[in-house]
Every structure is written in structure tokens, then in C-alpha cells.
Amino acid sequence: MPTEDVRTVRESRSDYSEVCLPNDANMLGNMLGGRVMHLVDLCGAIAGMRHARSAVVTASIDQMTFLHPIHIGELVMLKSQVNRVFRTSMEVGVKVLVENLYTGQIRHTSSAYLSFVAVDAAGHRLVLPPIFPDTQEDQRRYEEAAARRARRLADKAKRTV
């Protein structure tokens, strides 16, 4: 059971939605991949800030695959939550869905895991409060986040050699 200084995954959950407009799209009428990534970063940061109760900066983003295009006029819906907290960093998962507002069809278009670091006004890292997984699904994500972090750190070590 969480104590006062432990926050729950549920408390970090965030939703963000917007309609794909022509200025968000390429010449084919599909939302630009960079725009989707921007929205993923924004929604992820909101979950991170909810947990940290401070500013957060993006440290990394895992691979993104675009499963379906997002067309002009469709509703882009993003869902995020903190999956696990380490000492000064946290993993946030973001899922992107798209809804055709005329048919009601909803499709999963992409997902990503991002690492955020909480910082103070001077840009110094802050130690984060622990997180408590609320559900079995949250517990699964919590456990899998440790393996993803190990891969990220191994990849980082390879790049610095």
C-alpha cells in the first residue's frame, strides 16, 4: 500500500486530444510524423509533471512505428502514464489512437516509451518520489520498464565507447 510520499500510477495518467488540421499534414493529407512525435512528447511530459510536481525534460524516446496514418479531420487521442520511477528519471508510456469522427472507428496508430528527468528552476535534477502500480497491468508495465531501462543504458554505454 502506498505511503504519503509514494504516488500512484493512476495519479499520473493523462489524456490529450486534438483534431488533425491541414497545417499538421503532409501533401497526402496525413499528419506529419514529427507532429505526432511532438504530441507524444507533450502528453508524456504532462504525465511526468503530474508525478514529479515539477518541470520535466525529455531524456530519450524509444523507437516509434506508425501503424496507420492520421488523416485531416480525424481526432488524435493520446494517453500517457508514468510506468516506473528510478532515482531522478522516470519512464512514461504514451499510446496514440485516432478516431474517425464520422464513423466512430478508433485505431491504435503508435506507442512510445519516453524517459523524463525532473528538474528545478536552475535545471538541476531532482530526486523523484516512488510510484505505486495500481493494477496488475500497471505492475506488468512497471516490471517491463526495468528491462527497457537496462537496454537504454546498455545502448548508451555502446555509444560512449
The answer to the question of residue 105 being in a domain is yes
The single residue listed with the C-alpha cell 485531416 is 72
The answer to the question of residue 112 being in a domain is yes
What are 82's three cell numbers? 508514468
pLDDT for 54 equals 96
The answer to the question of residue 149 being in a domain is yes
pLDDT for 39 equals 98
pLDDT along the chain (161 residues), means of 10: 76 98 97 98 98 97 93 98 97 98 97 97 96 95 93 82 65
The answer to the question of residue 2 being in a domain is no
d(C-alpha 117, C-alpha 87), whole Å: 9
pLDDT for 98 equals 98
The answer to the question of residue 58 being in a domain is yes
What's the domain count of the chain?
A: 1
Pairing, β 55-61 against β 106-119: antiparallel
The single residue listed with the C-alpha cell 493512476 is 10
The SS3 assignment for 150 reads: helix
The answer to the question of residue 78 being in a domain is yes
Q: Under a CB-based contact definition with an 8 Å cutoff, are residues 128 and 83 in contact?
A: no
pLDDT for 1 equals 46
The answer to the question of residue 127 being in a domain is yes
Q: Where are the alpha helices (DSSP H) in the chain?
A: 9-12, 33-52, 136-160
Range of the domain at 106: 7-160
The answer to the question of residue 44 being in a domain is yes
pLDDT for 153 equals 84
CATH code, 71: 3.10.129.10
